[in-house]
């Protein structure tokens, strides 16, 4: 079984602002991460990005990148989430989520793309919906339940 680690949980209270790391949160069915402005009853309740994707951007000279700078809710190490097919179930702590979308359209470019000419989120960001709610904490094991 492939396992990774939840490096960071990131939320924003308003849309259009950077997400800030928090130590723990609750995943809520038909909603997403408690307290996040992008949560709601839709197929992109939670956004995920692999630490390896962030490292690619650091290699381009953005050494000060922090968790949440790509507006991802969950930063994962040990699993390249962009390679997982839609429908994959992931377990984080006691909660479970299903991948619903890989990548997204970039709306006019972001601050990071303006600085270095590229951004990984449109290609490597992954979106999911909550299927089993529960508390998640930084450092939790992330398991692929199926592929």
* 32, 45 Cβ separation under 8 angstroms: yes
* 10, 19 Cβ separation under 8 angstroms: yes
Phi, psi of 73 (to 5 degrees): -75, -40
Task: With H, G, I as helix, E, B as strand and everything else as coil, classify residue 48.
Answer: strand
- Structurally, the chain folds into a number of domains equal to 1
CATH at residue 40? 2.40.33.20
Q: Check residue 124 and give its pLDDT.
A: 85
Domain that holds residue 92: 3-144
Q: Check residue 108 and give its pLDDT.
A: 60
Phi, psi of 94 (to 5 degrees): -100, -10
Low-confidence ranges of the chain (pLDDT < 50): none
Q: Check residue 98 and give its pLDDT.
A: 97
Q: Check residue 79 and give its pLDDT.
A: 96
Q: Check residue 103 and give its pLDDT.
A: 81
Using the CB atoms, write b or e for 26-57: b if 16+ within 10 Å: ebbbebbbeebebbeeeebbbbbbbbbbbeeb
């Amino acid at each position: 079984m492939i396992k990774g680690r939840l490096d960071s949980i990131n939320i924003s209270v308003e849309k259009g602002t950077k997400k800030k790391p928090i130590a723990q949160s609750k995943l809520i069915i038909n909603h997403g991460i408690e307290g996040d402005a992008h949560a709601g009853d839709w197929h992109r309740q939670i956004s995920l990005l692999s630490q390896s994707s962030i490292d690619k951007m650091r290699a381009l000279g953005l050494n000060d990148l922090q968790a949440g700078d790509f507006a991802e809710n969950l930063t994962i190490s040990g699993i390249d989430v962009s390679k997982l097919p839609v429908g994959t179930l992931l377990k984080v702590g006691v909660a479970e989520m299903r991948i619903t979308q890989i990548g997204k359209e970039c709306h006019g470019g972001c601050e990071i793309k303006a600085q270095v000419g590229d951004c990984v989120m449109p290609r490597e960001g992954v979106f999911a919906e909550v299927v089993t709610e529960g508390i998640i904490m930084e450092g939790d094991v992330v398991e692929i339940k199926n592929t």
